[in-house]
Amino acid sequence: MKVFHEKEALRSWRAALRSAGQTLALVPTMGALHRGHLSLIARAQQEADAVLVSIYVNPTQFNRANDLANYPRDPEGDRQLLEASGCDALFEPISLYRPGHASWVEVPSLAGTLCGRTRPGHFRGVATVVTKLFQIAQPEVALFGAKDLQQALLLTQMAADLDMPVRVLTAPTLREADGLAMSSRNRRLTPAQRLAAASIPRALAGAEATLRGGTTTAGTITDAVTRRLVDAGARIDYVSLVRPEDLLEIPPESPATPGLVLAIAAFFGATRLIDNVLLGSSGLDEALAEDP
């Protein structure tokens, strides 16, 4: 596996690939890699001749300094996982911003809701750093995980709106045996918080089961999910039922229907976790044993 710290060296490698007629898939990450990332790499290997993974904890997408400082980092472990995955190259820049950086990419229509409400500037940072990565690596394909649904939708919209010559693909969320969505942030949970965090997939599964049981409203679903998370000791950021295409929130009195997305952000201790399901097709209610 090639390792690049400088964008110029990466650009030369990329140019050589193109001369050889090879396509490139990019998997942008912030490191602390897990099986979810490996599944993105495996998918990327099906989509292009060569796979590049980037690891960069992007400071501009953190709106709290201590969240950035405490973001999990595991360069040695990451390197080993990447070598074993068969990925072709790693881009691990020291910084991606030059002094005086003053240009930003924004998708306001998708950035103002869900995570954007309590993380102002987050999606501007994400869209900007991903644009920079696209500019540097010029991949034909880029892969993002569905756990970060808002991010994936926003980046898909950004690439289409700005005529970026890259296919943005969203791959399914990978889950632990108890249903918890894989996330680098799970490493920061204490054993007790890790147990409590399993209330997220159970609450999502409960919502699926309620919907399957008959007619219900958005408010009934979000109230039940909120109660379940709070009972498990979570501090809620949001529990929202939204349309998958534009993340528009469904009013509480409106019917909850299959095809809507149930999205959650909740804190367990200081660790903020997110998850979502496309109602009616997640299969979570069948995959997880319901609480007695």
What are the catalytic residues? 37
Q: Which of 154, 168, 183 is nearest to 275 (CA)?
A: 183
Q: What would the DSSP string read from start to end of 57-68? A: --GGG-SSHHHH
Span from 12-20, 124-132, 202-210, 245-253 in contact with ligand PAF (CB under 6 A): 124-132
Q: Kindly tell me which residue out of 4, 17, 25, 28 binds ligand PAF, with binding defined by CB under 6 A.
A: 28
Q: How far is the CB of 161 from ligand PAF (least distance, A)?
A: 17
Q: How far is the CB of 102 from ligand PAF (least distance, A)?
A: 19
Q: Name the 3-class secondary structure at 2.
A: strand
Token pair for residue 21? Answer: 């007629």
Q: Which of 91, 181, 105, 183 is nearest to 139 (CA)?
A: 91
Q: Kindly tell me which residue out of 126, 154, 181, 211 binds ligand PAF, with binding defined by CB under 6 A.
A: 126
Compute the distance between CA of residue 74 and CA of residue 154 in angstroms, rounded to an integer.
28
Q: Name the 3-class secondary structure at 215.
A: coil
Strand order in the sheet with 50-55: 2-4, 89-91, 50-55, 24-29, 141-145, 167-171
Token pair for residue 13? Answer: 């490698």
130 touches ligand PAF (CB under 6 A): yes
Nearer Cβ to ligand PAF, position 19 or 103? 103
33 touches ligand PAF (CB under 6 A): no
Q: Kindly tell me which residue out of 61, 222, 240, 282 binds ligand PAF, with binding defined by CB under 6 A.
A: 61
Q: Kindly tell me which residue out of 14, 17, 24, 58 binds ligand PAF, with binding defined by CB under 6 A.
A: 58
**Residues engaged in binding ligand PAF (CB under 6 A):** 28-30, 58, 61, 126, 129-130, 148, 151
